[in-house]
Amino acid sequence: MKNTYGFVRVAAGVPRVRVADPEFNANEAIALARAADVAGAHLLVLPECALTGYTGNDLFQQRALLDAVCAALRRVCEQTADCNLLVIVGLPLASENQLFNCAAMLCHGEILGVVPKTFIPGYKEYYEQRWFTSAADALADTIVLNGSPVPFGADLLFRAEGNASFTVGVELCEDLWSPIPPSSMQALAGATILCNLSASNELVGKAEYRAQLVRQQSARCIAGYVYASAGVGESTTDVVFSGHAMIAENGIILAENPRFERDPVLLITDLDLGRLLHDRRTTTSFSTAAAEHAPSCRTIDFTLEQPRWHTPLRRPIPTHPFVPADSAERTQRCKEIFSIQTAALAKRLEHCQIQRVVLGVSGGLDSTLALLVAVHTFDLLRYARSGIYALSMPGFGTSERTRDNVRSLCKTLGVTLEELDIRPLCAQIFSDLKHSPEHHDVTYENVQARARTLLLLNRANQLGALQLGTGDLSELALGWCTYGGDHLAMYNINCGVPKTLVRYLVAWVADTHCDPQARQALTDILATPISPELLPPTPDGTIAQKTEEMIGPYELHDFFLYHTVRCGAPPRVIYLLATQAFQHQYPPSAILRWLRVFYTRFFANQFKRSCVPDGPKVGSVSLSPRGDWRMPSDASPATWLAELDELQRHS
């Protein structure tokens, strides 16, 4: 197989079907296999009993049909021999005077193995027990097909030669609905892609429940799950089928078709096996379960020469992985995070028996969010909002716009606003250090940041209050904070929130918790450029220092952060994903540039993350040294940067 960056392209197919017409059905299966091959798929899953139709009923016991289905299987093998993909097709097969509902695995015209269905339904509208035997009752572990013995049983796994991460397990329909599906055992035995050949009829509300099963099974098994169900060509004597197809990855449906389509369906997406293996390694309970419960399986190797896989990736790649694209889901996410933040702060205040907080407010997004959390927390605890001391500490770069927004917002929220000009204190420090105030270097900036923190901590002591930090997750990842300055706090309420999500949280609170006057101030804060305001404004009084012009766009850095920490992705994969996700916003050269900045800053600033204050985790990525992220402060980024150098040479 060619280098696919750890991705495997999979397809779920729903062919046209004529009940009890194997020759017609074979031709339809062949057509889908050829289409999947052209699309560069490595794997195609077809429905249960695709070569006969699932609704054959007593016709399954007719020798004419059983002979015809074997001939149809031979035809599918012959006509897909030049396809570089695995094809899994459903059909009834007889062996040792038993009849089984089976999935046959085909590759390059050869039958690799046959997996019979384990759980045979015999309730309500299902009557399979009249015809089929369970895999558990099979009398032999081989079956003769095309004149040769073929491995047979529910204990079969199929593994790509040279790529053990591409290992396939197979189950059929009812198997998924059982308390312990065979795919659970297959995953523990090493299968990363689980396939379900199904014939699930439609009932009101059943499709949603079916999707929940697929989503949950892929999550429990930390696997890809490819599901293909029988279509509208099945008999409608008593039930109707819709051709439901889904492909899931670790709890997320990546692709799903409209049901009741009359034309053939070919649903294709790329599964990220690298991410799945990363998640299995980091979720230690998975390996514990595998050690205790993994069954003994027969593994059959297969070889795919050079499938026509190519980029772009055929899977959704969110530009903002921390921010749901769906508005309803995004609203729910904001509500959940705000609830976590307020619950965390309420617990800390109650434990410390404190009814006052002190925080710096700059007119920027982060301090605004922290202020809104404090206000809502005080309301929940029935504390007076006047116990919230918002300190505005204008320095050499503070603009009138941000000062005015702070005054307006604090007034409408009913909190206590104090303005403490830090410039005299900073001037004294410059004098003591013999540092020219005209020299606008890192010392010039950090003196201001540390002066603000000094005032905040001491004012909190003076009031008997808890001092709140306001820095967010993205700033912590990049080290975009002053050590001993805004890096410090008694409690940091924003530490788990990435910058791309802060904006939506502030907007959500403005829409759901604020009166029109506060909403007006918040709207202008949302429109203000992100800046620490440590350098003097422009001559016309506007903000001169813009963070994203200096360290890069936060939407890129949050993308890099998510795929580095949450997914364990290497630079080449992150670059591939980013160039596709941001193809209309940034050229590849810019993505490489800012990815280098990300790695350089991420490694260089671990010492700041190693001693951050307490704060709540709100999502799947956290950089707390006490929680999710333990990294040496002196680790080298050489391996990551070398891979970027290689990408640079080939770009």
Say how far apart CA 197 and CA 195 lie, in whole Å. 7
CA-to-CA dists, residue 131 to 92, 154, 357, angstroms = 10, 18, 72
Cα–Cα distance for residue pair 224/211, rounded to 1 Å: 14
> CA of 566: how far to CAs of 6, 144, 362, 455, in Å?
16, 47, 31, 36
Diameter of the chain measured on Cα atoms: 100
Is residue 177 exposed (0-12), middle (13-18) or buried (19+ Cβ within 10 Å)? Answer: middle
Please give the structure tokens belonging to residue 615: 């704060």
Tokens read off for 42: 């490595």
Q: What is the DSSP letter of 262?
A: S
Kindly name the residue from 28, 77, 117, 495 that is annotated as catalytic: 117
Give the Å distances, CA to CA, from 216 to 184, 224, 245, 256, 336: 11, 11, 16, 15, 21
Q: How many CB atoms lie within 10 A of CB 501?
A: 25
171 has catalytic annotation: no
**Residues 224, 255 contacting (CB under 8 angstroms):** no
Q: Report d(CA 208, CA 531) in Å as an integer.
A: 46
Return the number of other C-beta atoms located less than 10 Å from residue 550's C-beta: 11
- Terminal alpha carbon distance of the chain: 23
- Counting every residue written for the chain, the total comes to 651
CA distance 606 to 145: 60
173 is catalytic: yes
Tokens standing for 570?
């290497």
Closest CA relative to residue 341, chosen from 614, 624, 566 = 614
CB atoms within 10 A of CB 163: 15
CA distance 293 to 276: 20
Q: Whole-angstrom Cα distance, residue 478 to residue 425?
A: 28
The secondary structure of residue 313, as a DSSP letter, is: P
Q: What is the DSSP letter of 563?
A: I
Q: Which of 28, 48, 171, 234 is catalytic?
A: 48
| Burial class (CB within 10 angstroms; exposed 0-12, middle 13-18, buried 19+) of 439 | exposed
Backbone angles phi, psi at 612, to 5 degrees: -85, 155
In the residue annotation, 48 being an active-site residue is answered as yes
Give the amino acid at 44: L
Please compute Rg for the chain using Cα positions. Answer: 30
Token pair in block for residue 600? 């350089």
**Are the CB atoms for 183 and 154 separated by under 8 Å?**
no
Q: Looking at 77, 83, 173, 514, which residue is catalytic? A: 173
Active site residues: 48, 117, 173
